[in-house]
Each structure stands twice: as structure tokens, then as C-alpha cells.
Amino acid sequence: MKKIFCLLIMMMFTVNVSAAIELEPCTTEKMNNLKEMVNKMEFDYTYEMKKDKDVPDYIYPEFTITIKGLTKDLKALIINDFYSLDYKEIINDGNGNGKISGFKQGEKVSITMKAYTPDKCSTKTVAVKQIKLPYYNQFYDKDYCLTNPNFKYCQEFTEEEVTNTKYYKELEKYEKENETTEPVVENKSDNTLLFIGIGVGSVLVIGIVVFILVRRKKYEL
């Protein structure tokens, strides 16, 4: 009988402990608050130019993803395969800022914002932010680009990779579209002389005709 009583006491204690550690539910309001936190964050990138060890003349950018406004309730993860733990976390430096380096030009980076709260919202995905890194343009500081900065492939960074073939093909089109033809300037002095010549000629012709008619009338008389 005592054993049964003790067992009942232990069961009641276990139930009470379980109830005490029961997590609060994840409500729509809580998730909306977390989403609002993400919307207030600033996602950006910086870059540093590197030299290729094998090709000394070749330089390329290495990008760093930065986040401002991180909080203790959210974790920023770059996930390759979550189930195999193949992911990287952008660590909060304690001041709400985080960064992670080693990204290549043209890379698409997905940042998954996960809830990290003491309730059932924890580990839920709050939002996914996409960052498309640009390409470094090797032609932007060449002679033609220095004098034609408006050409679309004369920017330091572009949304697409600019190869030699693409650059010179588009450059040829650009130059044809922007060819300037010298306007024909009308020579007013030449026109004036022409009008004077026509006038004088007309007067002479009329004078000759009148002279012939007058002499003909004299002979007829």
C-alpha cells in the first residue's frame, strides 16, 4: 500500500513539473512581432579586392554580408542543408551587428531568420532574405570607359558578368547608336550671290529683249 501511495506522489510531482515547464504557444501576434523586427533590420554587403595567387594581374572582390539590428530573439542562418547541420550563423556581436565573409561575385545568398524565443515559436522560420551580389567589371577603369562613363558596361559593378565578347559587342552597338553626323550648314553668302546673279541676268535679258523690240519697230517705220 505504501508503495502505491509513493508511486502516486511521484506521478503527481512529475505532472506538476511538466506543467511548470510547458512552453507558451506560438501565436500569430508573436510571429508578426518577430517579422516586424526583421523588417527593421538592415541587410547589406561590403567587399575587399583580392589578388589571385596564380594569376598576379587578376583581382577579384570578396564579399562580406552585414546585418544591423539583430536581436536575441532571432538567429540569422545561411543554410545549405539544415538537417545535416550544414549551415553558418551570422553571430550578433552584442551591439546588434553581425557579419560573415567569404562570398563570391554573382553569388545569391539566402539568409534565413529563425525565431530564438522561450516559447513554441522557437526554431520557426520568420523570414528569408535574398541578397544578389554583383559582378566586378574589369573594364570600368579602361581608357574608353574613362571618357564614356554612361556606357552600361563602364560601371565598376554590374548585375551580369561582363566578358570580353560581351563588352566589345555591346560597345560596337553603343558607338553606332551614338554616332554624330555634322549638320549641313547653309552658306548664306553663296545664296546671296546666286540671287544677285539671277537678278542681274534677268535684267540683262529683259534689256536685250526690249532693245530688239525697239529697233524692230524703228525699221518697220
Residues 63 and 154 in one domain: no
Tens digit of pLDDT for each residue in 40-85? 999 999 999 998 888 877 889 999 999 999 999 999 999 876 565 6
Domain assignment of residue 84, given as a range: 23-133
**200 or 168, which is more confident?**
168
Residues 31 and 106 in one domain: yes
Residues 100 and 54 in one domain: yes
90 touches 114 (CB < 8 A): no
Residues 73 and 158 in one domain: no
Tens digit of pLDDT for each residue in 112-155? 999 999 999 999 999 999 999 999 998 988 888 988 888 999 99
Residues 49 and 118 in one domain: yes
User: How far is Cα 192 from Cα 172, in angstroms, rounded to an integer?
Assistant: 43
> What separation in angstroms does the CA of 73 have from each of 25, 77, 121, 182, 216?
15, 13, 10, 67, 120
Domain count, the chain: 2
Residues 114 and 160 in one domain: no
pLDDT at site 27: 95
